[in-house]
Structure 1
């Protein structure tokens, strides 16, 4: 049975992948690859795990030559965008890349695409300007200077809404559109794979939204400085009470909950088997007794590790942020 379409299939309908051991039917894999390449999600991850499907598997499964060519183009663009020496031709309708390593002292570059030949600057990536220094970068749609002022009644104008919906990737400067409705602010650029925050436009890690930066996982804007300071003060002052309350609730819940959970699981499994009543009672009793010995250890580890980590974060990271 295919785990994607849930239809029974013969064994030969499940092609193997070189990246992992997961299996799906050929039709589901082909449709998945079509969608991924069309949406420029390259490299394509396995539909069951984060492992990237190898290029030869993509070529083997994709029947359309146009999609295979597009896949190769996206792979090449992803590689070139990650190269700091690559410069893209600024001419309209030209996506030619110039590998300009060591051209900082001689910044005049020429597009090598046939029929283009545009000359542009290595530093500012704008058309070549022999008369003077590089012009300052044009304000993007995401910069405050490019946004109009708020109207008197407090509603955003269409230009302001468009500026908030379109921002640039901090690594490759590709334009990215997102509906500014307060949804997830953890963005992943499909061109260069950069993971960044939609609010502060900085490359981030997975713990960025746990830091006292003011950026929230959901929301339209970062917290103000006053709100951030009040929240941090509340964390510092209320941490002992909250941690004590959480530990006081977690200790009995874990200590009593694990034996109850294990007893119910073993009882349900024994009822489905062919065990007699005495055997079922013995298996449930032994699992509960074993859980009673194990649950205090799990409780001690949870509290003993979790409480110091939370205290270190509150009285380390948060206090340092307040001092700054």
Structure 2
């Protein structure tokens, strides 16, 4: 992986240096794959697969130089000279020492991080004892790093099943996260969910040293927990939580339930109601709730500057009378978005592999039974049901 001389690769040093980030990306991918092979060999006890220390040192130096070039902006290629690389190489021991000091300071402040390190190192000190997971029925090491003990019922299952259970609850937008073990249905503490995510971050299957995937999953879980907690709190105060209908926006409002009910009371419920017809609107059979000349159904999101309807969630539209929601009931305006209305109605549903009917899962495990054709199938992979699909 030694690049050819600059004069042979390009006509100018700048053009040559602009190609270096792409070359170093290839080097990083190669060495990361090489490091994964070494980790798997160490886990299986195949120590003869390890190279000599000189090769490992050279691989580390190549990865350091590659990361430096990748993190450098393309427009600053003129500043990336061999002198700069040499200076970064000389500063690398000090940077490593500074990083270790920062991590030691973080380790001293966080008790949960010390506990995780203790459980990670303790698994190598205990004798090899295997036990069966209560959900996926796989054999796992009976250590706190591999096996989770539920604080509510004392049941034991692998951390992978805890993570998959939490991910399914968040993806399906279920209102509560219960213990996956029966008959216990107590609420699962946040510390258990976060520990399951961190176990997956440092496992061989989902190794994520930078923590990018871990932070993304944790943000999704925190958003779900905030939404459910806010909905429960507002329900006790007779209020509703309103989300911005745009998929890439996370803004929310709190609205008194009686105000929303008053707006819904003026809306026709079926297409057979004359108020839902265009002719009925022109003859005065339908008129929305208006205050100070503004339609009270119209909401504006300050985060994404999007105007939409509070009741149907569709874009308000300001392109003209044909596209605007002004003066129209939600049924008439929804007829202009048939695909979106159908997608909103069946959001989160999956088709049965046997008959194609759409099914929405509210809670439970991955085993689904279609009431139409009686087929048993897996919710995750849509395959015919087998006990092994509990771990999908």
Taking structure 1 as the reference length, the TM-score comes to: 0.39
Taking structure 2 as the reference length, the TM-score comes to: 0.34
